[in-house]
Amino acid sequence: MPRTTARSTKPEWTDPDCPVARTLDLVGDKWSLLVIRDAMDGARSFTEFQRRTGIARNILSDRLRKLIAHGLLAQCTAPSGRRQEYVLTDSGRDLFPAILTLRQWGERNAFAPGEHHSTLVDQHGTPVPEIVPTGTDGALVDAGTSHVRKTP
């Protein structure tokens, strides 16, 4: 998460001009991404996040606080009125394609052939198709066919 100085509430970004670096400053540790992943899968309570991830209570408290502070999660009262819940904001939900891309990369590269893993399915139970980035002309875009344009 970005640091703030005692003199300023503006964050100190790792690389202020790079969207990838800023994103990693916000959600670049495994616990933050796993909390976002589980929120996307319906987790709402502190206990549920802890059970699903195995994260230590102090680290989970820190990540939830930071994700709320940066507008990725919101805290609200549960319908029972007896506890607090954590829900994704629009910004948090916007991470879905990134989580999906990480998942699909993991399916291809982090498992041995034939090794079992979970599968993300749509509302009909069909596996979600692979994300394939394309340009405006429909051609595949990858690291060899794109480059970063620096802003002045």
Q: Residue 11: which CATH number? A: 1.10.10.10
d(CA 107, CA 115): 10
Residue-number span of the structural domain to which 100 is assigned: 3-109
User: What pLDDT, on the 0 to 100 scale, is given for residue 81?
Assistant: 87
Indicate whether 12 belongs to any domain: yes
The pLDDT value given to residue 147: 93
The predicted pLDDT at position 1 comes to 58
The per-residue pLDDT for 40 is 97
Question: What is the token pair recorded at 49?
Answer: 């996040």
Consecutive sets of 10 residues in the chain, 152 residues long: mean pLDDT of each? 54 88 93 97 96 96 96 93 94 97 95 94 95 95 93 80
State the pTM of this model: 0.85
User: How far, in Å, CA of 131 to CA of 128, rounded?
Assistant: 9
| CB-count exposure of residue 76 (10 Å: 0-12, 13-18, 19+) | exposed
Residue 93 belongs to a domain: yes
Whether 17 maps to a domain, the answer reads yes
In whole angstroms, give the CA distance from residue 46 to residue 43.
9
Confirm whether 38 is domain-assigned. Answer: yes
Q: Which of 72, 8, 81, 17 is nearest to 40 (CA)?
A: 72
- Kindly report the backbone phi and psi dihedral angles of residue 132, in degrees, each rounded to the nearest multiple of 5, phi listed first: -130, 110
Q: How many domains does the chain have?
A: 1
The answer as to whether 125 is a domain residue is no
44, part of any domain? yes
pLDDT at residue 72, rounded to an integer: 97
Cα separation, 19 vs 55, in Å, equals: 28
Q: Is residue 131 in some structural domain?
A: no
**pLDDT the model gives residue 130:** 94
Q: What is the pLDDT of residue 2?
A: 64
Query: What was the pLDDT predicted at 80?
Result: 87
